[in-house]
Amino acid sequence: MLRTFRLFLIASFVAATFGVPATPAGAAGDTILFGSSVSLTGSLAKEGKLTQEGYDFWKDYINQHGGLKVGGKSYKVDIKYYDDESKPASAQQLAERLIDQDHVNFILGPYGSGTAFTVAQMVERKKMPMVEGNGAAEKIFSQGFRYTFGVLSPAKKYLQGVLDMAAKRKPRPVTVAISAASDAFSLEVQQGVVDYAQTLGFKVVYSNKYPDTTTDVSSVVSAIKATNPDIILNAGHLQDALLIHKGLKEQNVQAKIYAYSVGPDTPDFVNSLGKDANFVYGGAQWSEAVKYQGQAGFYKSAMDYANAFDAVYHHRPDYHNAESTAACLAFQYALQKAGTLDSEKVRDALQSLDIVTFYGIIKFDSRGLNVFKPMVVNQIQHGKLVTVWPEFTANGKPMYPAPPWAQR
Amino acid sequence: MGGITGNRYAIGLVLFAMVALLGVPALHNDYITLTFRNILMFAAMSYGWNMIGGYTGYVSFGNVVFFGMGAYCSAALSGHGIDNLVAAVPLAMLVCASFAVVVGIPVLRLRGHYFGIATLGVSLAVADLVNNLDVLGGSSGLVLKQADQAHFWIYYYAMWLVAIGCILGTYAIARSKLGYAFVAIRENEDAAQVLGISPTRYKVTAWALGAMMAGAAGAVYAPANGFIDPSITFAIDNNVFPIVMAILGGMGTVAGPFIGALLLAGINEFLQQKFLQAHTIFFGATIVLVVVFLPRGLMYLVGLRGGVRRWFADLRVFRV
Amino acid sequence: MQLFFQDLVNGILAGGILAVVALGFSLVWGIMNIINLAHGAFIMLGAYIAWQLFTSLHVDPFLSVPVAFVIMFGFGYLLQRGLINRVVRAPVLATFLLTFGLSLLIQNLALMVWTSDTRAVTPVYSGANFDIHGVTIPWAKVATLAAALLITLVMYLWLQRSKMGRAIRATAMDVGAAQMVGVRVAHIYGVTFGIGAALAGAAGALLSLSYSLNPSMGEPFLIRGFVVCVLGGLGSVEGALIGGLAYGIVASFASNIDFTLYGQHVSGTGLQDVVALLVLLAVLIVRPTGLAGRATA
């Protein structure tokens, strides 16, 4: 027993330190292999799943339509996934694994700003192009990284559209309250609101942050109520948006506009709150209502994309789905333009990309950030998501102001 | 056999493995190197916990605070343009040891569970404080300058040195009078006091020694990772895994934490590759099975006399 | 002044639920010496029981509380007798590790069963409130507090008066002596762990009203449970209540502290946990066995 066990231990040490690990064949022959670590378990499991759906939807489309033509040769595409358990440290290690062990050709981003940041640092060292659609913090793009590209509009813009829309309402709202979860993304959203509100002539009467693991926001709500604002904004995540919205009703806080950076666009928000969800606005990277005419090679309009997506996954795509698919599209058109799988040339092609898709414009500034695409504002009306801003793309008018709680 | 250092063969095995690990960056790709660097890092943290939890028997639930402080020491230096591990590691050890002494004097007066909770409270409070301190990057975190790809192996060997320092340090302490004093406190604190061992002094010493180990690991981790924020450095995993590893390998032994770290990280890695989503279920199940069949840790099996029958007989005493 | 009273009310309302969260955790720890890291997962299960009953059968969440209590009691009892009992006399950290594994297992099985979608229980009266001199009080939270107080009271009386309660307390003091006078320790341990799980389940069902559900929702409550049960005193029913209310009130007031220090804006909202934890440390140092703790620990 004892001897066998000791031998086993020695053998496993030797195997661990010297053994050559079995290396799966990576981008063999006629397949382009993408790799991504997404959060399939842990606190971001929902968002991670939406990301994965967005990627998979693109992959299936390409493979069903004869593959991807690069430099005259047609390739199948495949995506290798790992679960980062919603932990940034884990995401970095898994991305390293995708590159060194699985020999993926390119990296598709993980979900979340913190996670995207750690992976961005790693791909930079490896000179491996990554396009991500789920990390909007500008911090990622202010480090001079050359290999990371983000298809989404920066965090600061998330709620600025709501303010633009508010400025055009009659009677014009005057005061703004904003609370933010203490994480990099939400704090940037908050900063964006505070700066922009002043330029539009709003008065910020409350601006504060709360711990991102909070379980009780009633005191935040009380403090907001004490300032009696016209516009109540929150920069945070789905869970916080639900907590705060419930809290606002419980304490009977009446404002003209309620808007959340993340939350109202996921179906979970309406499912959880029922009719209390009505009249709530949300900043969104994309909605079904956007009216772009995309170029050939994929679904051209948002509506076509949404309908096809619904047929496969049995729910309407939200902007997390769409921005993930858009990250794939950036690769698709950059690869076709580069005509090669060479990572340096693909990087250059990404840098000079300038396309219009169902998702909107995809074009990167020198930092790798897609600042050219406007964000939209959605409002929940009668339990449905309606795009109300900007006016040229809207499919409905804002219902303003929000009526008293009892009448919703 | 081996007194309070634990099984001699096991220690030999660990040292042999450490020598073998020297070859990893040369023989393997970056991913494998990173994986082993993480194992070395968790091993160092586990040794840090083992000092207080394993030797003096004071179960700390807050040792992650030292790992985090070490990481932030490194980052603070980097912010002042000093990207040098030779400066960062000693600074981190000094800061962590001082913090351990200052906090330890009141907190280590508490016994048993109350000590555990107090340490948890300290670690949560420090993490939240960092979250709110803009000088330390707040919740947005800090970016550190990293060595380039060609010199990236530096971090691996730095972590190796930290780990070997922890192993040899633990061995030396366990064989010294200090080690015996720790164990005396663990076995019977009141009796130890009667024998002239000042419990508070020795407990604080053990905690500070453990703090230095975790702090050193944190100081190397920060630049190796290139970015730290409170959710990364003070992560629950960084708090729980070192404890789990020490228990798995064998608490209060020299070889235990290393073996535990290698095993746990190995299992985790294997499952993560094999099962995309279900790996966490299997990981949980593995831990449950290991506890049910090996509640004394793996080192117990190394020292077992009498085969499987004895093993199962030993298990029965834990039931009521 | 109005904000002061509102904060006080918010703190008390939040504290009641924390008391129930901590109570089960505290009993299991104090009586069986098991630090149950799966407690958060049990809370999550209780919340999902309430959600499932609400969505499939339109059962009011308050009526689901006893259901969750009973189901989780059975689950906890069986778990203790079948699994945890095997290592219950091993060093305390063996059970610590075991419950860590269980927590991973349960959380991720829940992820498979209920998916990662965020859920909520929103009955018609959700958000209804009344007003006393400008302090707004939501009915659902008042009812939650009342239920929490009732549960605590019943637990207190049961432990003090019933035969089983006395046997449990005897076992906590001295296992050997209890065995000698004919207490079936294995059964007692099963009941204690079952009660711990049942209280977590009840807390989860109550939480389903104010909080939203996902498989990892229990984690922040586990940590707060840790702090609250020590704040009050380990294994003590009245302690859990005092600790829960103290935590709730301190965190509530802390979150509305707002001042400027050396040009740096200090916001209490971000620091509410820090303040609560500093209070914990202060209490521990002054009274090492908690606010309501007895001399023996």
- The DSSP annotation for A27-53 comes to S-TTEEEEEEEE--SSTTHHHHHHHHH
Contact yes or no for B320 and C98 at CB 8 A? no
Homologous superfamily of A159-261: Response regulator (3.40.50.2300)
Q: In this structure, what token pair is assigned to residue A3? A: 């001897």
**pLDDT tens across A289-298, in order?**
898 999 999 9
High-pLDDT (> 90) share of chain A, %? 72
**pLDDT tens across C228-251, in order?**
888 888 888 988 999 999 999 988
Q: What is the mean pLDDT of residues B162-173?
A: 96
Residue B56 has, within 13 A of its CA and on its CB side, a CA count of 33
Identify the bridge partners of residue A380 per DSSP, sorted by sequence position.
Answer: A385
pLDDT at C295 over 50: no
Q: What is the mean pLDDT of residues B290-300?
A: 83
Strands A203-210 and A384-389: unpaired
Query: Whole-angstrom Cα distance, residue A178 to residue A31?
Result: 48
pLDDT range class, residue C296, cuts 50, 70, 90: very low
| Class for the domain spanning A31-154+289-363 | alpha beta
Contact yes or no for A272 and C119 at CB 8 A? yes
Nearest Cβ partner for C211 among A215, A219, A276? A215
What is the residue type of A226? A
* A10 or C252, greater pLDDT: C252
Nearest Cβ partner for C289 among B114, B131, B284? B114
Q: Which positions ≥6 away from A50 have C-beta within 8 Å?
A: A111, A266, A318, A320, A321, A324
Q: What is the mean pLDDT of residues B179-189?
A: 91
pLDDT range class, residue B1, cuts 50, 70, 90: very low
Q: Among A210-214, A353-357, C59-63, whose mean pLDDT is lowest?
A: A210-214
B244 closest CA partner among A379, C80, C98:
C98
User: Is residue C109 in some structural domain?
Assistant: yes
**pLDDT tens across B38-74, in order?**
999 999 999 999 999 999 999 898 999 999 999 999 9
Q: What is the mean pLDDT of residues C43-64?
A: 95
Contact yes or no for A118 and B225 at CB 8 A? yes
User: Is residue C58 in some structural domain?
Assistant: yes
3-state secondary structure B36-74: HHHHHHHHHHHHHHHHHHHHCCCCCCCCHHHHHHHHHHH
Q: In this structure, what token pair is assigned to residue A12? A: 């496993």
pLDDT at A314 over 60: yes
pLDDT range class, residue B240, cuts 50, 70, 90: confident
Query: Whole-angstrom Cα distance, residue C147 to residue C206?
Result: 8
Which chains pack against C, by 3+ Cβ pairs within 8 A?
A, B
CB atoms < 10 A from the CB of A15, how many? Answer: 11
Give the pLDDT of residue A358.
95
User: Is residue C233 in some structural domain?
Assistant: no
Domain boundaries, chain A: 31-154+289-363, 159-261
Contact yes or no for B13 and A117 at CB 8 A? no
* Inter-residue contact B60 to B116 (CB < 8 Å): yes
Which H or E run includes C254?
helix C237-254
Domain span including residue C133: 2-217
Query: Whole-angstrom Cα distance, residue A197 to residue A176?
Result: 8
High-pLDDT (> 70) share of chain C, %? 95
**pLDDT tens across A50-79, in order?**
999 999 999 999 999 999 999 989 999 999
A329 closest CA partner among A51, A55, A92, A67:
A55
pLDDT at A355 over 90: yes
Contact yes or no for C126 and A249 at CB 8 A? yes
**pLDDT tens across A224-277, in order?**
999 999 999 999 988 889 999 999 999 999 999 999 998 898 888 999 998 899
Average pLDDT, chain B: 90
Q: Which residues of A touch B23 (CB under 8 A)?
A: 17-18
Structural domain total, chain C: 1
Q: Which residues of C touch A218 (CB under 8 A)?
A: 10, 13-14, 252
* Inter-residue contact C111 to A45 (CB < 8 Å): yes
Domain boundaries, chain B: 3-316
pLDDT at B247 over 80: yes
| Class for the domain spanning B3-316 | mainly alpha
Give the pLDDT of residue C233.
82
Q: Which residues of C touch A209 (CB under 8 A)?
A: 267, 269-270
> C272 — contact with chain A (CB < 8 Å)?
yes
Give the pLDDT of residue C265.
66
Give the pLDDT of residue C210.
86
Q: Which residues of C touch A213 (CB under 8 A)?
A: 219-220
Query: Whole-angstrom Cα distance, residue B174 to residue B195?
Result: 19
pLDDT range class, residue A12, cuts 50, 70, 90: low
Query: Whole-angstrom Cα distance, residue A79 to residue A24?
Result: 14
pLDDT range class, residue A361, cuts 50, 70, 90: very high
